[in-house]
Structure 1
Amino acid sequence: MEPSVKESVSRIPLLRTKAGPRDGDRWTARLKEEYASLIAYVENNKASDSHWFQLESNPQGTRWYGTCWTYYKNEKYEFKMNFDIPVTYPQAPPELALPELEGKTVKMYRGGKICMTTHFFPLWARNVPYFGISHLLALGLGPWLSIEAPAIIEKGDLKPSGAAAVPAMALQRTITPGIVAGMTGAGPSGSGGEERGE
């Protein structure tokens, strides 16, 4: 794990309540912890100018959707993302999808679900119930995006999101993913020159 990612994750609050969507009041308590963790993660990201996603949920907190983005060679690439909280959560992590990237990389399943079975799911399993949605984004989506997005772009399968202004901090990095919970936040930064793999 890159030092910057490790530092970012160390500032994400851990969760305590082991409850899923069918656990009534305990799920409500877990959801409050999820929101608190996401807010802290977003605030940390904003403070380090590494803003990379927007995220919101349905009222029950069982369906999440939003956008994430990354910069590569001073161009912004933005993707819609979504995931559902599984019934067995937090024992099983959510499967995060970037539908518009389906078929553009082998590190993806049907429906645009990103492949995290090697690098993230074992880590999640060792940290139940402490990991939550913030950790899914920081340790699952962030590293995946840092490696896969440049490879897809270099193949010519992705076009920039438009003439978006590149933040000053992003100009210093080859690639910068980001996240938010009903607001904008920041995520781990990666290098476009990393080796592919999980």
Structure 2
Amino acid sequence: MDIDQNLIRVARRNIRHYLAPEARDSFPVSMAIQYGPMAAGGLVGDQVATQFPNNVFFTQANYVPDSDSRVQSQQPEYDVILALSLTKWIHLNWGDAAMKRTFQRVFRQLRPGGRFIVEPQPWKSYGRKKKLTERIFTNYKQIQFRPHQFVAYLLSAEVGFSSCRQLEGPRNKSKGFHRPVYMLTKSPAAPP
């Protein structure tokens, strides 16, 4: 899910790189050109429908809940939610309350035992983008909930994750991508 329709289009187009050659050839070329890569939908009860790439969907939407009641109405749907390089943008566009509601929604959207993988950008990177718009600048000046506080908040009773582990990954040559990535786990005994 992304708020940017262009990124969704790119993701749909790029999934073809991960398809087996026989899956790529199952549609007329004009379909992929017009609609992006597509795989045949599975039948109800068909095991193929639950396998890659038929279990991957790209949707354009704003994930940030606009109220506490929207968070409370969220039902468990996923086993894993991945949030890489986006917390800064949620924070700068909608502020502290929206960042916290987003974390609460993630928790509620995970099934018991689910995992949230998050890569918070460092506070100093916010300063480099603070003047993009007037709203971002206003939010930037009001932010009190800093990225170094995210993990403690996610583990608090206000959200409810039961554990956190910092993941090790390959060192990226790009200087801006040497950020910690955390995997938080929702207790298998957590109520839905």
TM-score, shorter chain, exceeding 0.5: no
Provide the TM-score with structure 2 as the length reference.
0.20
**Larger-Rg structure:** 2
Provide the TM-score with structure 1 as the length reference.
0.20
Structure with greater helix percent: 2
